[in-house]
Structure 1
Amino acid sequence: MVDTAAPVLRCGFGGAHTATTARLEVSVPRRQELIDVWADLADAEARFRLGWGEDGPWVDQDDTDPMVIADEGAEFIGRDPQTGVAVVSAGFGRADDGYMEVSGLVHPAFRRFGFGREALQVVCAFAHRHFGVTELRARCETDNEASRRWLASAGFLPVEGVFMHTLPDGRSMATIRWRHLDPTARRRCKRPFMPVE
């Protein structure tokens, strides 16, 4: 059984945020590191589900390399502490409707072992207990059982109804929306953020 104790959140200079779970070291990466990890984690099925296409979002035109954190959201990478291998990427960012929305991606070799849940619990803890986000949202395709299990295992509750969503590749899909609430959420982070450009 995986230890599900609340992770200890650490806040450092310039946007460095880290946490350790039972099996992961989770931290905010720099942009190029995130791009490299996404390219490694995203197999054909993940790219299809996310609407990324073959090129994915990892084609970077920017010559700066800031940490991927801002008042508009944050990305985190979870690594195996023994090997340093990137196992999962998860984060939250502002959606078109103004709410903070979570997303995540688990390396194909590590799927179905609970790593996604561990990383999502860290993301929720940072969002609620550190950045003061009261409500997190998520969405997944109606037939995506893995994502449904992932969200439910981290305490997200489905919103009644089916909603249409357009992916980055232009494909429209029927989705289920999810919510994760913490009415006691408040901002504790006092550090300045590097902007996501």
Structure 2
Amino acid sequence: MVNTSAAPLLSRLTRRGRLMAKRTCDRRCHAFVLGGFLFRTPTAWEYAAAVAGGSDPAAQRWLGWLPDSVVAEPMRAEALRVVPGTGPEWTTPDPHSVDVVAIDLAARRCAGLVSVHAGEDGSPETGGYLAPGYRGRGRGRELFTAGLVLAHEHLGLTRVRAGAEIGNVASGRSLAAAGMRRAPGPARYTLPNGRVGEAWWYQHDVPWPHRCTGPQAKWLA
């Protein structure tokens, strides 16, 4: 899902930044609150923090990013200290993905990332991950529910799918808890690093989607 390195961003981190307090969508930003999280189009620094949150070995077991996309220590710890709301605007490097960062409103920390992106066959898929401190606490349901909100209430999609590697029980449970149902799909899929795994597939449909004023994915046009 995340296929660009955060390292160049981290090399430019300073204490100076532009406050981003948006909680509603506009032409540059998606924003919505769900549970204890604010989901928002990230600033460059928030995106770096989100990438760092998925760079640990436990997450990479399932995400399988390319090596230059994984943030190593000590930059990982530095990025995870980013204060949400700071940093310049961020333009996603992937034109086939719409990303929102999960911001813990109580702790004021970047807690993860969820996206709606083009799957291997070009159809819309959602996926995401949580930073280490937020796993195993039932927060995956909120994360994947946010993916459905982004797809159906912001991008105007009637259908969105998600894949989980067989054996990733936590991800499968979270997708089901968010309201997705098991669906047919390819038996195997390939991660960015080339590793091939067996997959479970999930799907969610709504009859009347909505498209907001936020940035739209060009690949969906």
- Which residue, out of 183, 199, 209, partners 1:175? 199
Aligned residues: 182
Secondary structure, counterpart of 2:152 in structure 1: helix
Superposition deviation, residue 31 in structure 1: 4.5
Aligned equivalents of 2:208, 2:217: Cα separation in 1: 26
Any idea what SS the aligned residue of 1:46 has? Answer: helix
How far apart in 1 are the matches of 2:215 and 2:65?
A: 31
| Corresponding residue of 2:78 | none
Percent identity reads: 27
Determine if the alignment matches structure 1 residue 100 to structure 2 residue 120: no
Query: Do the aligned partners of residues 130 and 108 (structure 1) sit closer, same or farther apart at CA in structure 2, a change above 3 Å counting?
Result: same
Q: CA deviation at 1:139?
A: 0.6
What residue in structure 2 maps to residue 17 of structure 1?
Answer: 30
Q: Kindly tell me: are residues 135 and 116 of structure 1, through their superposed partners in 2, closer, same or farther at Cα, counting changes over 3 Å?
A: same
Distance 2:57 2:143 in 1: 22
| Aligned match of 2:51 | 38
Question: Measured at CA, do residues 193 and 183 of structure 1 come closer, stay the same or move farther in structure 2, by a change above 3 Å?
Answer: closer
1: CA distance between counterparts of 2:47 and 2:59? 16
Which amino acid in structure 2 is aligned with residue 36 of structure 1? Answer: A
Distance 1:69 1:181, change over 3 A: farther
In the alignment, which residue of structure 1 is the partner of 2:166?
Answer: 142
Structure (1/2) with the larger strand percentage:
1
Q: For residues 103-126 of structure 1, give each alpha carbon's deviation from its aligned partner in whole angstroms, at most 9, with x where no partner exists.
A: 111112111222221132122112
| Alpha-carbon distance between aligned partners in 1 of 2:37 and 2:179, rounded to the nearest angstrom | 19
* CA drift at 1:152: 0.4
Cα deviations across residues 9-53 of structure 1 (Å, max 9, x unaligned)?
821242x11111221121111345313321134320211211115
Deviations along 1:73-117, one digit per CA (max 9) or x if unpaired, are 411111121321111211111112121111111112111222221
Letter in 1 for 2:26: G
**Which string of whole-angstrom CA distances, capped at 9 and with x for unpartnered residues, describes residues 56-88 of structure 1?**
3669xxxx9534499844111111213211112
Partner of 2:208: 184
Q: TM-score, normalised by structure 2?
A: 0.71
User: Which secondary structure does the structure 1 equivalent of 2:112 belong to?
Assistant: strand
2:177 aligned partner, one-letter code: S
- Specify every segment of 5 or more residues in structure 2 that has no aligned partner in the other structure, as ranges: 1-22, 73-87
Residues 69 and 194 in structure 1, CA contact (< 8 A), matched pair in contact too: no
Residue 138 of structure 1 deviates from its aligned partner by 0.7
Q: TM-score normalized by structure 1?
A: 0.79
Cα distance between partner residues in 2 of 1:166 and 1:116: 23
Distance 1:19 1:191, change over 3 A: closer
Distance 1:48 1:128, change over 3 A: same
